Amino acid sequence: MRTALREWAFNSKRRTNPEEPIPDDVRVILDWVQRNTLSMAAWEQSDRVDTVVSALGTLLDGTAAASSSVSRNRRIMNLAMEYAVRHGILRQNPLPKGKGSGGGAPKVAQAIDKRSLLNPEQVTALLDWIGKRPLRRGPLYRAFFATLCYAGLRPEEAVALHVSDATLPETGWGEFIVHSARPEVGSQWTDSGEPHDDRDLKGRAEGDTRTVPIHPDLVGFLREVIVQYKLKPTDLLFPGEFGGRLAGSVFRRVWDKARAEVLQPHEYESPAGKRVYDCRHTCLTAWLNKGIPPAQVAEWAGNSVPVLLAIYARCIVGQRDNYLKQIYDVRYRSEAK
């Protein structure tokens, strides 16, 4: 039933495509759902609303869902209710609001888990293993993951880079001009029919860009890739196997394989670098721990300073002694008599 709803009933492109009629078995399910679904008038009954609110915080097996999942579910349901209000289907949003009413979203920890961060030795070993993979695309994958670890780009920003977006001198530091992102949402849910969707930078105005420094080591990796794969300025910096976008399923599989081969069994089972996005977290944390001002890190990372500090404040280490020295002379005492 969930598959029939997701793939057909909720997919406007697919359910209205005359070249792909709804299969008979799916039609049977959707007809049953239509006959047994309550009308929108059910939202006027408080007990029905309470049942929905409870379901938003519960998994299918009856156990409590994670706070992040509950918040996401409630946010999505509120969007649906507001849509119904705007179109005159409901008079008002029936979902409860505020604390103590059952509608307040649970608190979700913004700060990242320090255990998810990789140390420099682990990053070096992972990149080395990926670069030496027997497959011919090892250097390209190494450059991709190094872009996340050295420059702190989001994966969807890295896959959108073109060769012309990078300034790569023979020696010294280079520079990225990041101006777009290509999150992978599935071909059924994009207007273009492609797996990736074209987006502007997260948290930025339409058409905005940001510049990010490229470490000399990363410059070397990228120059090697451009030469080895004979990439032109208009080509993607990290092309997929057949020339298209680098698929998330592919680079996630490569990363998981590298972790399994490089890390100790207890490290592999731990949160350390478990997600590809943890490469970005590792980079931004390293910048902050080296004393780069948060405002500058936020500019390079494409975050606001409040969000940056909320996420990484617990991971800033190594500066406590300096801070204590700076406040040592702050004293409030009487003169001895």
Average pLDDT per run of 10 along the chain, which is 337 residues long?
A: 90 81 92 93 91 90 84 91 94 78 53 87 95 83 97 93 95 92 60 56 65 96 95 93 85 96 95 94 91 92 88 68 70 63
Task: Report d(CA 284, CA 277) in Å as an integer.
Answer: 11
131 in Cβ contact with 217 (< 8 Å): no
Identify the pLDDT of residue 64: 87
Output the DSSP codes for 130-185: HHT-SSTTHHHHHHHHHHHHHH---HHHHTT-BGGGEE--SSS-EEEEE--B--B-
44 in Cβ contact with 94 (< 8 Å): yes
Identify the pLDDT of residue 274: 94
Identify the pLDDT of residue 185: 57
Identify the pLDDT of residue 230: 93
The side-by-side arrangement of strands in the sheet containing 210-214 is 166-167, 174-178, 210-214
Structure-token pair, residue 64: 């409590």
Count of other CB atoms within 10 angstroms of residue 48: 14
Pairing of the two strands 166-167 and 174-178: antiparallel
Identify the pLDDT of residue 280: 95
Task: Report d(CA 248, CA 245) in Å as an integer.
Answer: 9
Identify the pLDDT of residue 253: 94
In the chain, which residue ranges form alpha helices assigned H by DSSP? Answer: 2-4, 12-15, 24-36, 46-56, 67-86, 120-131, 138-151, 155-158, 216-228, 248-262, 265-269, 278-289, 294-301, 305-312, 320-326
Identify the pLDDT of residue 50: 92
Identify the pLDDT of residue 100: 45
- Classified as helix, coil or strand, 19 is coil
Pairing of the two strands 166-167 and 210-214: unpaired
